[in-house]
Structure 1
Amino acid sequence: MLTEDFLGRIAIVFVMTILAVFSAIPLLVYFRQDTSASSLAVATQAAATVFLLLQVLMTVSRLPPKGTARGIEPRITSVAGTFLMLVAMLLTPALDSEAAQVTALGLIFIGTTSSFVCLYWLGRSFSLMATARRLVTTGPYSIVRHPLYICEAIFIIGTVVSHFSMLMMVIASLQFLLQYRRAKNEEAILRQTFPEYNDYARRVPMLLPRFLGRTGINPSG
């Protein structure tokens, strides 16, 4: 029987594989013929490709769900929160400013590489939808409850710098709202699934780190 989780896994693997292929194409062009691209641009593109491939790997090997948010809103929020900025980059041209692009590349590189670390730590608990799979007790999830969204926010800021316009500002604002709502949806299902989550939420901040705080537990986002 084809479950919703299995069908979702197939869809995510398909989409992320396509995105990884398109992300890798500029790298192939660079290594074969183009030597004019900056090292930072190449490193950022490589980091994005590896991050997409890691999402594919974690999706293929992810654990079965112990709880999943119900209704259409969490699903729409998760999909929109994942892909909205990719659409925004297609709708808005990049600025013709070397300083802006270098700054943007730096932010995007930091956001992508730190997202890679968070995703690696999340491991087989990874899911785009609001789903509870396993509790993760170490690493960035002992600092804030949603470190992956903080790292993705850095990526978003870099994208805004690169494609700065009023439309991009509006889309980025919507993106932040979607991610916040996504985090709240995740927390709702985590509280239902894991009794210890309430104690964890009292000790570990949601988004802004408390560097002198104690470690905690978290499974998602």
Structure 2
Amino acid sequence: MLTEDFLGRIAIVIVMTVLVIFSGAPLLAHFYRDISADALAVFTQVASTAFLALQLVMTVGRIPPKGTAKGIEPRLTSIAGAFLILVALFLTPAVESESVQLIALCLVFIGTVCSIFCLYWLGRSFSIMATARRLVTSGPYSIVRHPLYICEAVFVSGMILSHFSMLMIALGILQFSLQYRRARHEEAILRQTFPEYEEYARRVPMLVPRFFPAARPASSRD
């Protein structure tokens, strides 16, 4: 019997495969010219392709879900939050400024490399939809509860700067809002699935790193 998770996996695998091909194809052109002046652009493209390929691998090998958010809204939010910024790139022209593009490229590169690290740490628990597979609380997930979204926000900021316009700003704000909503959906299903999530959420901030440890509740004394 085909389960919802299996069908969703097939759909994501198809989409990610197409994205990997489109992301990796431009790299072939760099083999036929001097890449010294475009080194950062090449490294960024390689990192982006690797990030998409890693998502593909993690989707294929992900572990079965223990809980999934119900309803159509969490699913639409997850899909829009994941892919809206890619659609936005086709709606807005790139800024014709080398200095702006260099800064934007740096943001995209940093965000992508950090995203690869977080995704690798998340491993087979990765899912685009709000799904509870395994509770990961170590590594970057011991600093904030959603480090992958923070890294992706750096990437999106670079995209907004690269294609800077009022439309791009509006779409960027919408994308950030969708990702926040997506994180909330994930937290809701994680709380329902893992009793220990409440203690984890008390210790670890959602998005902004805490510079001082959370105060422990005072123990009662006889």
Query: What TM-score results when the alignment is normalised by the length of structure 1?
Result: 0.94
* Contact persistence 1:30–1:37 (CA under 8 A): no
Question: Could you say which residue in structure 1 is the equivalent of 2:140?
Answer: 140
Q: Does 1:57 align with 2:67?
A: no
* Contact persistence 2:144–2:204 (CA under 8 A): yes
Question: Could you say which residue in structure 2 is the equivalent of 1:218?
Answer: none
Question: Could you say which residue in structure 1 is the equivalent of 2:38?
Answer: 38
Q: Does 1:5 align with 2:14?
A: no
**Residue type of the partner of 2:154?**
I
Can you give the 5+ residue segments of structure 2 that lack an aligned partner in the other structure? 215-222
Query: What count of residue pairs does the alignment treat as equivalent?
Result: 214
Question: Could you say which residue in structure 2 is the equivalent of 1:183?
Answer: 183
**Structure showing greater Rg:** 2
Question: Could you say which residue in structure 1 is the equivalent of 2:15?
Answer: 15
- Displaced runs of 4+ in structure 1, greater than 4 A? none
Query: C-alpha displacement at 1:137, in angstroms?
Result: 2.6
Can you give the 5+ residue segments of structure 1 that lack an aligned partner in the other structure? 215-221
Cα distance between partner residues in 2 of 1:119 and 1:104: 22
Task: Please list the CA deviations of residues 188-220 of structure 1 after superposition, one character each: whole Å capped at 9, or x if unmatched.
Answer: 000000000011111100000014437xxxxxx
User: How many percent identity over aligned positions?
Assistant: 71
Cα distance between partner residues in 2 of 1:178 and 1:44: 25
Query: What TM-score results when the alignment is normalised by the length of structure 2?
Result: 0.94
Deviates more, 1:190-199 or 1:203-212: 203-212
Query: C-alpha displacement at 1:38, in angstroms?
Result: 1.1
Cα distance between partner residues in 1 of 2:35 and 2:187: 46
CA RMSD of aligned residues (A): 1.1
Counterpart mapping for 1:91-170 below 5 A: 91-170=91-170
Question: Could you say which residue in structure 1 is the equivalent of 2:218?
Answer: none
Task: Please list the CA deviations of residues 78-97 of structure 1 after superposition, one character each: whole Å capped at 9, or x if unmatched.
Answer: 00000000000000000000
| Secondary structure of the structure 2 residue equivalent to 1:99 | helix
Cα distance between partner residues in 2 of 1:213 and 1:84: 35
| Secondary structure of the structure 1 residue equivalent to 2:90 | helix
| Secondary structure of the structure 2 residue equivalent to 1:136 | coil
Task: Please list the CA deviations of residues 89-130 of structure 1 after superposition, one character each: whole Å capped at 9, or x if unmatched.
Answer: 000000000001000000000000000000000000000000
Question: Could you say which residue in structure 2 is the equivalent of 1:207?
Answer: 207
